Chains A and B, each alone.
Chain A
Amino acid sequence: MRAPDPQVTARLQALGGGARSEPDSVDVPAPSEDDLAWAPPVSLSGYLKASLRARLPAPLREGRWDPGRRGLVVIAVLGLVAVLVAAAVVVRSRAHPVAAVRPDPPPGASVSSGPDPLAAGVTVLVDVEGKVRRPGLVTLPAGARIAQAIAAAGGALPGTDTTSLDLAQKVTDGQQLRVGEPAAVPGSTAGPSTGAASALVNINTASADQLDALPHIGPATAAKIIDWRARHGAFTSVRQLQQVPGIGPSTYEDIAPLVTV
């Protein structure tokens, strides 16, 4: 028989003696009695391990697997760094509440380019008139209150009676506020209590019949609006109408100018 390949011998010894091996060379010799006598299988698991190993593709069989102490240290450090990096990502991604998001206006667009729905969504433009220090247009975060609008206009002049205004009420985009004067503007400036005088349907207080009267809204959709209102408490903006099932973009566009919150 062939002289035993020293590489194979070394490998068999490394395996704890155990098994028939398939050398790389393609002419597979049958295990001779010599071989078996020299390396009897010590145990079933040892035999399986060795025979599995012998069937592995050459690069996996001959490679160096043991990471050693150095490998342990390298992986430990690498793992620690990975966890620290992940923690840093968590810290960096945290949400910080801010008073308002003021996205930079797009180049060339001025504040008065009102119809831009995206810009209008984040900030609202309100005309504060009457007895304030700086009457005129003020830009406010969406959802701001009348009190904030008055403050943004420099505050009410001393001695002005603001009790006729519901200072906690939210302003809407394009609204005109008259401070210290009887409310002359119909609709949006008036609170829900004066809804009777309003041409707009308040979707938070309207009955099913009132909603039914809106274009494209039938009794079924009206019921869904009321259902949404019941489940979510109230509409905080007209845009939330779009979350009601059955109100698509075209319906929404038609009814949005006719309703308020």
Chain B
Amino acid sequence: MIAPDLRLLVPAAACWLAVWLAAPWRPGWQIGAALGLGAGAVAGCWRGLALAAVVALLAAGAGLASSGLRAWARTSNPVAQLAAVGADVDVRLQVTGDPLVRDGTAHGRAYHLVIVPAQARALASDDGRAWRLRQPVLVLADDSAWSTLQPSQSVTAAGRLAPPRSGDDVAAVLDARGPPVHADGPSLVQRAAGHVRVGLRHAAAALPGQRAALLPALVDGDTAGLSATTEAEFRATGLTHLVAVSGENLAIVTGVVVGATRRLRLAPRAAAAVTLAAIVAFVVVARPSPSVLRAAVMGGIGAFGLVGGQRRRALGGLSAAVLLLVLADPGLAARPGFALSVLASLGLLVLAPGAAAVLARRLPAWLAAALAVPLAAQIACSPVIAAIGGGLSLTAVPANLLAAPAVAPATLLGVAAAVCAPLSSGVARAAAWCAAWPCAWLLGVAHEGSRVPASIVPWPSGAGGALLLAALTVPLLVAGRRAILRS
């Protein structure tokens, strides 16, 4: 066995933790802390501190510097200043992500809210001042015309600026009045991605019931058609990662592409190029959500590993992915999706092999191996799920175990449908029809699992709840392991 590569584990963890903890701080404090950590690293190097500690200090300092500089840019600009006084503005925006539609009732009134992530490119305030700039804003609108926008489109809008919630990495929230005025269409790449998404939705449209909505959700995270009930069922059974496209989907697709390049005996460089292209295409179509980014960077590093002919070292790849992503986009550090994705991967790599070995004492080897995967992922993720108010799901492990066999066929058939959709709608529909079977299985698992009494145990949310759960999990794991081994 090759020793796992843990050289980047400590710096990656230090960088992530520092950026996450410092996220609510003022930019000045963050930059000050970064300078302090940098100075500490230099002094430590001088004094002969262990290299691992020096490297961790450096990585944390770099993360804080990156995060602090960006936070400073976000908070000291006309958008943030006008938001502080709640000014009315006209703004030219570039849409940066898919619009999110929220329907519901609050205070007895039905509301329809469209949330659009965007970048403000130009801004005119009511008093005649105007600027060109680039600042991230979150648009809240009640006009449904906003929900049809695609990333990369430029629009103009009027509305009132408001300060963002603490922890949101945008300069302001724009409360938009009326519909957006379209200035131009999406870019060529985004138009192609839109074709694929719409094609898949059409191919799946003929499927009965929620299967029509689950397939696009499973393949590219397009949850527009999913009913609130189904979403709640998937949440209750710890299967949400299937609905919000996750790193797992990307890993399945990448795995097939790598297998194909091997079968075709492509040269290592060509194989790496094909794999990278597939990863990039997947990220564009399925949108760069935190977990997709995590999987994409890990996969990309793996693809580079192919070039060198090295065996892929997953723990090293995961550490490098965390480090690169947090440095490049410090906002990810505080996103639950990122934490869940990283922790699930970590659980699979660190806990699953041992769990499988221990479980194999009591269970057949194949079942032990299959059970170890959701068990390890759930153990690693449940503190974060509890922290964001998701409670403690008792059905998550059995539900994921039951769901596992259907995930790969549903994803691959769905991807086939999406890829074929622009070429032949007949083939796409046939693939979608085949994918309906695993989809029905997943829906059934979620539905039955959510009906189990006490499927979610209420658990205190927030950091306290997470720490409590983690503190209880570790001795429980040790005791469970010992009990199985001693018997």
Task: Please report A residues at the B interface, Cβ cutoff 8 Å.
Answer: 26, 28, 55, 57-60, 62-69, 71-72, 75-76, 78-80, 82-83, 85-87, 89-90, 92-101, 103-104, 106-107, 116-119, 121-122, 141-144, 170, 236-237, 239-240, 242-243, 249
Whether B65 and A82, one on each chain, are in contact in the complex, defined by CB atoms closer than 8 angstroms, is yes
Give the shortest distance, in Å, between A41 (CB) and chain B (any CB). Answer: 21
**Chain B, 317-372, CB within 8 A of any chain A CB:** 323-324, 327-328, 349-351, 353-354, 357-358, 361
Give the shortest distance, in Å, between B161 (CB) and chain A (any CB). Answer: 11
Q: Which residue of A lies closest to B327 (CB)?
A: A82
In the assembled complex, which residues on chain A have CB atoms less than 8 Å from the CB atom of B127?
Answer: 143, 236-237
Give the shortest distance, in Å, between B60 (CB) and chain A (any CB). Answer: 9
Whether B54 and A64, one on each chain, are in contact in the complex, defined by CB atoms closer than 8 angstroms, is no
Q: What number of A-B contacts does a CB cutoff of 8 Å give?
A: 203
In the assembled complex, which residues on chain B have CB atoms less than 8 Å from the CB atom of A242?
Answer: 88, 160
User: Considering the chains assembled together, what is the distance between the CA atoms of A243 and B156 in angstroms?
Assistant: 21
User: Considering the chains assembled together, what is the distance between the CA atoms of A240 and B9 in angstroms?
Assistant: 53
Known A59-B315, A60-B6, A118-B158; judge A78-B126 contact (CB<8 A).
no
Say yes or no for B107: interface residue by CB 8 A criterion: no
In the assembled complex, which residues on chain B have CB atoms less than 8 Å from the CB atom of A142?
Answer: 90, 124, 126, 128
User: A60-B350, A141-B128 given. 15 additional CB < 8 A pairs?
Assistant: A26-B357, A59-B349, A60-B6, A76-B58, A78-B59, A79-B58, A79-B65, A82-B63, A83-B69, A89-B70, A90-B72, A93-B135, A95-B79, A104-B184, A141-B124
In the assembled complex, which residues on chain A have CB atoms less than 8 Å from the CB atom of B77?
Answer: 93-95
Which has the most chain B C-beta neighbours within 10 Å: A26, A60, A63, A98? Answer: A63
In the assembled complex, which residues on chain A have CB atoms less than 8 Å from the CB atom of B69?
Answer: 83, 86-87, 89-90
What are 28 contact pairs spanning A and B, CB under 8 A? A59-B353, A60-B350, A63-B5, A71-B11, A83-B65, A85-B66, A86-B67, A92-B134, A93-B133, A93-B135, A95-B79, A95-B132, A95-B135, A100-B124, A100-B130, A101-B130, A103-B92, A103-B122, A106-B181, A107-B182, A117-B177, A121-B158, A141-B130, A142-B124, A143-B126, A236-B127, A242-B88, A243-B88
In the assembled complex, which residues on chain B have CB atoms less than 8 Å from the CB atom of A26?
Answer: 357-358, 361, 485
B37-80: contact bitstring with A at CB < 8 Å (1 yes, 0 no)?
A: 00000000100000110110011011101110110111001110
In the assembled complex, which residues on chain B have CB atoms less than 8 Å from the CB atom of A60?
Answer: 4, 6, 350
Whether A98 and B131, one on each chain, are in contact in the complex, defined by CB atoms closer than 8 angstroms, is yes
Whether A95 and B78, one on each chain, are in contact in the complex, defined by CB atoms closer than 8 angstroms, is yes
Whether A118 and B51, one on each chain, are in contact in the complex, defined by CB atoms closer than 8 angstroms, is no
In the assembled complex, which residues on chain A have CB atoms less than 8 Å from the CB atom of B134?
Answer: 92-93
Whether B66 and A62, one on each chain, are in contact in the complex, defined by CB atoms closer than 8 angstroms, is no
User: Considering the chains assembled together, what is the distance between the CA atoms of A249 and B130 in angstroms?
Assistant: 25
Give the shortest distance, in Å, between A13 (CB) and chain B (any CB). Answer: 16
Interface of A is mostly: helix
In the assembled complex, which residues on chain B have CB atoms less than 8 Å from the CB atom of A75?
Answer: 11, 55, 58-59, 62
Known A98-B132, A142-B126; judge A64-B4 contact (CB<8 A).
yes
User: Considering the chains assembled together, what is the distance between the CA atoms of A87 and B59 in angstroms?
Assistant: 17
In the assembled complex, which residues on chain B have CB atoms less than 8 Å from the CB atom of A107?
Answer: 182
Whether B131 and A106, one on each chain, are in contact in the complex, defined by CB atoms closer than 8 angstroms, is no
Whether A240 and B126, one on each chain, are in contact in the complex, defined by CB atoms closer than 8 angstroms, is yes
Which one, B126, B129, B178, B349, contacts A118 given CB within 8 A?
A: B178
Which one, A55, A101, A170, contacts B92 given CB within 8 A?
A: A101
Known A100-B124, A170-B128; judge A67-B8 contact (CB<8 A).
yes
Give the shortest distance, in Å, between A236 (CB) and chain B (any CB). Answer: 4
Q: Which residue of B lies closest to A94 (CB)?
A: B133
Whether A68 and B130, one on each chain, are in contact in the complex, defined by CB atoms closer than 8 angstroms, is no
Give the shortest distance, in Å, between A52 (CB) and chain B (any CB). Answer: 12
Say yes or no for B86: interface residue by CB 8 A criterion: yes
Which one, A63, A86, A119, contacts B6 given CB within 8 A?
A: A63
Q: Which residue of A lies closest to B93 (CB)?
A: A103
In the assembled complex, which residues on chain A have CB atoms less than 8 Å from the CB atom of B6?
Answer: 60, 63-65
Which has the most chain B C-beta neighbours within 10 Å: A28, A75, A89? Answer: A75
Known A116-B181, A143-B126; judge A103-B158 contact (CB<8 A).
no
In the assembled complex, which residues on chain B have CB atoms less than 8 Å from the CB atom of A58?
Answer: 353-354
User: Considering the chains assembled together, what is the distance between the CA atoms of A117 and B323 in angstroms?
Assistant: 46
In the assembled complex, which residues on chain A have CB atoms less than 8 Å from the CB atom of B26?
Answer: none
Say yes or no for B439: interface residue by CB 8 A criterion: no
Known A96-B131, A118-B157; judge A59-B7 contact (CB<8 A).
no
Which one, B9, B52, B66, B478, contacts A83 given CB within 8 A?
A: B66
Say yes or no for B472: interface residue by CB 8 A criterion: no
Whether A97 and B88, one on each chain, are in contact in the complex, defined by CB atoms closer than 8 angstroms, is no
In the assembled complex, which residues on chain A have CB atoms less than 8 Å from the CB atom of B122?
Answer: 98, 101, 103
User: Considering the chains assembled together, what is the distance between the CA atoms of A94 and B52 in angstroms?
Assistant: 37
Say yes or no for B3: interface residue by CB 8 A criterion: yes
Whether B129 and A97, one on each chain, are in contact in the complex, defined by CB atoms closer than 8 angstroms, is yes
Say yes or no for B138: interface residue by CB 8 A criterion: no
In the assembled complex, which residues on chain B have CB atoms less than 8 Å from the CB atom of A92?
Answer: 134
Say yes or no for B1: interface residue by CB 8 A criterion: yes
Going nearest first, the 6 A-B pairs with the smallest beta carbon separation are A143-B128, A79-B62, A63-B6, A82-B327, A63-B4, A95-B133
In the assembled complex, which residues on chain A have CB atoms less than 8 Å from the CB atom of B88?
Answer: 237, 239-240, 242-243
Q: Which residue of A lies closest to B157 (CB)?
A: A118
User: Considering the chains assembled together, what is the distance between the CA atoms of A106 and B78 in angstroms?
Assistant: 26
Whether A243 and B181, one on each chain, are in contact in the complex, defined by CB atoms closer than 8 angstroms, is no
In the assembled complex, which residues on chain B have CB atoms less than 8 Å from the CB atom of A78?
Answer: 59, 62, 323-324, 327
In the assembled complex, which residues on chain A have CB atoms less than 8 Å from the CB atom of B63?
Answer: 82
Whether A118 and B181, one on each chain, are in contact in the complex, defined by CB atoms closer than 8 angstroms, is yes
Whether A236 and B126, one on each chain, are in contact in the complex, defined by CB atoms closer than 8 angstroms, is yes
Give the shortest distance, in Å, between B309 (CB) and chain A (any CB). Answer: 20
Which one, B90, B349, B485, contacts A101 given CB within 8 A?
A: B90
Whether B58 and A66, one on each chain, are in contact in the complex, defined by CB atoms closer than 8 angstroms, is no
In the assembled complex, which residues on chain B have CB atoms less than 8 Å from the CB atom of A99?
Answer: 130
Give the shortest distance, in Å, between A90 (CB) and chain B (any CB). Answer: 4
Give the shortest distance, in Å, between A23 (CB) and chain B (any CB). Answer: 12
Whether B126 and A237, one on each chain, are in contact in the complex, defined by CB atoms closer than 8 angstroms, is yes
Known A66-B52, A78-B323; judge A86-B65 contact (CB<8 A).
yes
